[in-house]
Amino acid sequence: MTAPLVAAGLVGGFVVARVTKVRWLGGLVFGAAGVAAAARWGRTLGPAPTAALSVGYAAAMGLSHPLAKKVGPWPAVLLVTAGVTGAAVWADARAGRALSGPIGE
């Protein structure tokens, strides 16, 4: 399952950066979770969906910064996390169907 990795990367990265006041540590958490999720997507979904999901994950981080100026940091992080985690849930479900085969087999 990649949805927990995506959520941990975005929320966990934010928390680590905020608590330690060392932004690159938060980036390390974000990056490690992203690499782990992308590796899983690559194994189960193939290159095109992996690229799309990875771009969405990275874009969420970028989007959270200007969004935080409008709605605050926590709401921004939670909003982008909800969006990308939703995509990861879809990917996890699609990967599960691909691994299990058609119904009746």
* Domain annotation covers residue 74: yes
Is residue 79 in some structural domain?
A: yes
Helix, strand, coil in percent for the chain, rounding step 5:
90, 0, 10
What would the pLDDT profile of 3-60 be if each residue is shown by its tens digit?
999 999 999 999 999 999 999 999 999 999 999 999 999 999 999 999 999 999 999 9
The tally of domains found in the chain comes to: 1
More confident residue, 70 or 101: 70
Supply the DSSP symbol for 10: I
Residue 104: inside a domain, yes or no? no
**Per-residue pLDDT tens over the stretch 86-104:** 999 998 888 876 544 444 3
User: Is 24 domain-assigned?
Assistant: yes
pTM (2 decimals)?
0.85
Answer whether residue 58 is part of any domain: yes
Structural domain boundaries, residue 39: 3-98
